[in-house]
Amino acid sequence: MKAALLRAPGEVTLDTVPVPLLEPDQVLVRVAAVGVCGSDVHYYQHGRIGPYVVEHPLILGHELSGRITAVGSNVDPARVGQRVAVEPQRPCRVCEQCKAGRYNLCPDIEFFATPPIDGAFCEYVAIQADFAHAIPDSISDEAAALIEPLSVGIWACKRADIGPGSSVLIAGAGPIGVIMAQTARAFGATTVYITDIEDDRRAFALEHGATVALDPRVDLIEGLEVDAFIDASGVAAAVQAGILAVRPGGRAILVGMGNDTVELPVSWIQNREIWLSGVFRYTNTWPLGIKLVESGAVDLDVLVTSTFVLADAEQALNAGRQPGQMKVIVYPGR
């Protein structure tokens, strides 16, 4: 099969690699659409994220959808032909975290496009059958692929305890921030502030989920007294300002990836008993994500601004730098 391989920082080549062999509990998925994530771009530019280093050629891409073309010996053959959104991870299922339902924290988890595990910039992938989630025909291939970043939004909103009547502040109006805004509204939030320094991103967020868009360079963020703050920027100043905007007893959730260490207003957190948590991927979110997209509560198709074939994967990885870009999609089967 054809695959786009990251060979070194800034170097992607189109090559032929073996089609994955199926284990008894797996399905083979012909990949239809793959979203380009910021982590893909980071690996492409730097060859590493924290402790995860690209030491051998790596297939990027972990936001994907497709169609099942074959099944392992323990999987119902009736699943062949099914359209699916793929949850791109493989937990051990037997550790303490997995048994507690928090398989995203499994110490032995394998995740697509995280070295040394290959991803989905290729024609076929193998995945455990229960992590290939069936989707209705009303959901496009593109939206099905983007249920992966939607799952980050769902998990963050659950961690933030967002519900009917909640007020939320989101830092960063990129793809994750906009998805977060839509998800918060779907969870019942009535006021969703979003901050970004880019005018076009603030305008886009206002059209697709946010109720108020603020420029952190000129608008006062501190003192908003929101129920929850979610950082989708990774910017230290945004994290600090966001925490200062949380009401007593509220929640602050860190999603964006930035510096390894950030100064925090510890006295403020203590005196207000603010509940502070990180977010690492997601767990058990796909069924709800599919329902939110199918019902129209969340619109993922509107995020797609550019598309590329597999041979142009390197262009896709560079496209996000261009003004006006939100979400880039690669089509491995075209």
Domain boundaries along the sequence of the chain = 2-146+300-331, 153-278
Report the pLDDT value the prediction gives residue 189, as an integer from 0 to 100: 99
Task: Provide block-wise average pLDDT over 10 residues at a time, the chain (334 residues).
Answer: 97 98 98 97 94 96 99 98 99 98 97 98 99 99 99 98 99 98 99 98 97 98 97 96 98 93 96 98 98 99 98 95 91 94
Distance CA 184, CA 164 (A): 9
Which phi and psi angles does 320 have, rounded to 5°?
A: -65, -15
CATH level 2 (architecture), domain 153-278 = 3-Layer(aba) Sandwich (3.40)
Length of the chain: 334
Which phi and psi angles does 307 have, rounded to 5°?
A: -135, 150
Closest CA to 64 of 136, 9, 2, 126: 126
Distance CA 126, CA 68 (A): 9
Helix or strand (DSSP H, E) at 4:
strand 2-8
Closest CA to 227 of 164, 168, 159, 157: 168
Ordered DSSP codes for 26-54: EEEEEEEEEEPPHHHHHHHHHSEETTEE-
Would strands 226-231 and 246-254 be described as parallel, antiparallel, or unpaired? parallel
The tokens describing 163, both together, are 């519900």
Number of separate helices (H) and strands (E) present in the chain: 10, 20
- For the domain 2-146+300-331, what is the CATH superfamily, name and number? Medium-chain alcohol dehydrogenases, catalytic domain (3.90.180.10)
Instruction: Give CA separation, 61 vs 57, 231, 310, in Å.
Output: 13, 23, 11
Report the pLDDT value the prediction gives residue 323, as an integer from 0 to 100: 83
Report the pLDDT value the prediction gives residue 167, as an integer from 0 to 100: 99
